[in-house]
Amino acid sequence: MPELPEVESVRRGLSAWLTGATITRAQVLDARILGTTSARNVPAERVVSFERALEGVRIVSVERRGKYMWMPLAGDGLRGDSVAGGSETAEVDEWALAMHLGMSGQARIHEAEDQLHPHTRAVFDVAGPAGVGQLRFVDQRIFGHLGVERLVPGVAGVGATGTAGERRLVAESASGAGLDPFEGGFSVPVVARAFARKNVAMKTALLDQRVVSGVGNIYADEALFEAGVHPAARASRLRISRIERVLEAARDVMARALEVGGTSFDALYVNVNGESGYFERSLQVYGREGQPCVRCSTPITRVVLGGRSTHVCVRCQKPQRLR
């Protein structure tokens, strides 16, 4: 559900509230939120070590790359949870609380006495410059994830600036993600050349978080429409300038979405205060199957590509624009 603009809206809300705050208590209500897609069975001791690792720790900042979010930690007595192998102690500033919203995750700021939403999976009592309250992780489908993770150097891949030694530190689960279009070192021409080496559909390339992170199903469709490129067009067959246009469109459409708080179809995507974003009304193709194209009035078509719903105007997005 949440893509880069939605995650960034959440990050900003969390940053304003949590920077410099201390976690006084951590409670996991559903252990599955600590698991991963492939490892759902979370032993009880991992829940305990996760909770203990966070108690008394200070949140230094709230960071994001693509859809991955994490909070670097500082404080005495932090111990890694079993993600990193258990009881070893480590330098405090090597750790972060990682958070991925998945399809239905929400990070919400509440007062302790507020009623608990039924899908609340974890609760963190916090006290800091902005006051005392609770950070609650609510996630209907439990595709989201929480973890205490090491900070490690991010990808050295396309678009990264500087040498390997200067790579930005990211939470371990985000270490495979490419730079997102809003990061300083992101380079459209460099990423476009990486796309051109891939013999895959343009939409598939956009959704591959290892190359460029942050683009999800909605903004992929929107960017391809804006650039006039068919989602199934092979990246390797397109002119570099066309690929660059898609990447610029992705950055532009996500920037515009961010300005209005992201895209919400329902109460599943909300910011830290439970408020919806307004970009749904600006969508040109996503979710508009059968409705007239905003440019040429041809009905929008829905096809399945890479297992994902894909919306296209077959007149504005011709498949054959080859090198």
The tokens for 234 are 């092979």
Strand, helix or coil for residue 139? strand
Q: Rule CB under 7 A: which of 2-31 touch DNA?
A: 2-3, 6
CB nearer DNA, residue 159 or residue 178: 178
CB nearer DNA, residue 73 or residue 207: 207
The tokens for 310 are 């894909």
Integer Cα distance of 162 and 8 in angstroms: 24
Torsion of Cα atoms, 232 then 301 then 317 then 287, to 10°:
-90
CB nearer DNA, residue 176 or residue 185: 176
Q: Binding to DNA by residue 307, rule CB under 7 A?
A: yes
DSSP 227-290: HT--TTSBGGGS-HHHHHHHHHHHHHHHHHHHHTT---SSTTS--TTSPPPSGGGG-SSTT-TT
**Residue 84-103 contact track with DNA, rule CB under 7 A, x = bound:** ----------------x-xx
Residue pair 167/271 in contact by the 8 Å Cβ criterion: no
CB nearer DNA, residue 89 or residue 281: 281
CB of 229 to DNA, least distance (A): 15
Q: Binding to DNA by residue 209, rule CB under 7 A?
A: yes
Catalytic residue check, 2: yes
Catalytic residue check, 3: yes
Q: Binding to DNA by residue 323, rule CB under 7 A?
A: no
C-beta atoms surrounding 87 within 10 Å:
9
Amino acid, res. 294: V
**Residue 218-257 contact track with DNA, rule CB under 7 A, x = bound:** x-----------------x---------------------
Which are the contacts of 21, defined by CB distance < 8 A and separation ≥ 6? Answer: 58, 59, 126, 127, 128, 129, 130
Interface with DNA by CB under 7 A: which residues?
1-3, 6, 32, 36-38, 40, 66-68, 100, 102-103, 118-119, 140-143, 173, 176, 198-201, 204, 207, 209, 216-218, 236, 262-266, 268-269, 277, 305-309
The residues annotated as belonging to the active site are: 2-3, 67, 308
